[in-house]
Copies of this chain bind each other. A is one copy, B any other.
């Protein structure tokens, strides 16, 4: 008789955003007359930039003619895209990353969920707290996290690194030595960043203790301040300890287009074995490439027109971020993030828990945010608002919240 992967059964409740979706849908069904403003899930709302639309139409036409039709993509992705990434995201910033160290995928969520597969099940992970739920949940599914304590909402075999107001929402080096360290900057959910000097400390630490940093830089396009690193490979020694995850979802609005990539430097080894070869094997065995049309769309992100148009798009969202940050701060709320990131991290008022505040906002002013508790125990009294709405909705939402 077949049996299930029992690790799946250990997962408490459903995935955070599914739960939020159900709550919001139930409220909307019960109150069809209410205008709900969604600043919860980090989904973009601006249309794709014209340069991207143009590239996609062209690629669609190519797929309609035998002489320009494209079947299976190369395992690692098309060279035109990998070259554009190597040139624009790395070489131009002085980072040493070769095109064949870049693996094109259908998004950073998949990569961040799948990357743990190439490591031993006995490896111990360290995560920021609060944290993007996929890092922990994918490790739960793999049986790497021990047992769940309902009281503390933590896993026995996970090292949690609290990111709270006291430490500026920046994790401190853990007391217990981890094997895999998940870092995400600009951070989801807090919107916090660390400086290049701070990130260098992590790289030095990882090299010293023999840990791998899984660096999620999905929000790098939102960085405004000069001393905040765009890539972990800006740090010396990162090529022997760091994997970097990138996404086109937030810098180019590809949440419904699906494109991302992972960098695995060939210098990153366990004994004689390069992690690059393991990840290549996973790609070759369990993945079949991002669509040709989507990879051409990705290429357009790096065209001169694409760059200019996307700079405007990011500025649009950051105008929202500043409006939320300043508007709520002026109204007396405790807020952070929103400077180098499209997320604002808000302290729930009046001693409310984050889910209490979620329900309160949904019901009183019909604004949807994300409860901090969904990201980990240190998020218990916090709340995430995203800058990805329209400007008009953002202004209205902030005005509604100011007057609660």
A binding-site residues for B, Cβ under 8 Å: 1-6, 8-9, 11, 14-15, 17-18, 41, 43-48, 50, 53, 56-57, 60-61, 63-66, 69-73, 75, 106-107, 109-110, 113-114, 117-123, 133-134, 137-138, 141, 179-180, 209-212, 253, 255-258, 270, 273, 275, 278, 281-282, 284-294, 390
Contact = CB atoms under 8 A, between A and B. Distances in A.
Contacts of A275: 4
A293 B53 CA distance: 12
Interface centre among A8, A15, A66, A120 (most CB of B within 10 A): A8
A123 B2 contact: yes
A2 B71 contact: no
A266 to B, nearest CB: 15
Contacts of A45: 66, 69, 71
Contact of A180 (B2, B47, B64): B2
A8 B281 contact: yes
For the complex of A and B, the 7 pairs showing the least CB-CB separation, nearest first, are A1-B210, A113-B286, A3-B120, A2-B179, A43-B71, A53-B64, A15-B284
Contact of A109 (B65, B288, B294): B288
A17 to B, nearest CB: 8
Copies of this polypeptide in the complex? 2
Given A4-B278, A18-B284, A141-B282, 6 more contacts: A2-B119, A15-B285, A57-B57, A69-B256, A71-B256, A291-B291
Nearest to A275: B4
A15 B281 contact: yes
Nearest to A125: B2
A302 to B, nearest CB: 19
Nearest to A56: B60
Nearest to A180: B2
A114 B286 contact: yes
A119 B61 CA distance: 42
A66 B8 CA distance: 38
A87 to B, nearest CB: 24
Nearest to A69: B47
29 contacts: A1-B270, A2-B120, A2-B123, A2-B210, A2-B211, A4-B275, A5-B118, A5-B121, A8-B282, A14-B281, A15-B284, A46-B69, A48-B64, A48-B69, A53-B61, A56-B293, A66-B390, A69-B253, A72-B255, A73-B256, A109-B286, A109-B287, A109-B288, A113-B286, A138-B285, A141-B282, A141-B286, A257-B291, A291-B294
Contact of A117 (B5, B73, B119): B5
Contact of A63 (B53, B75, B179): B53
A64 B43 contact: no
Nearest to A63: B48
A372 B64 CA distance: 33
Contact of A106 (B2, B44, B106): B106
Given A5-B278, A286-B109, A291-B257, A63 B44 contact: no
Contacts of A71: 43-45, 253, 255-256
Contacts of A11: 281
A2 B137 CA distance: 20
A122 B5 CA distance: 9
Contacts of A211: 1-2
A255 B74 CA distance: 11
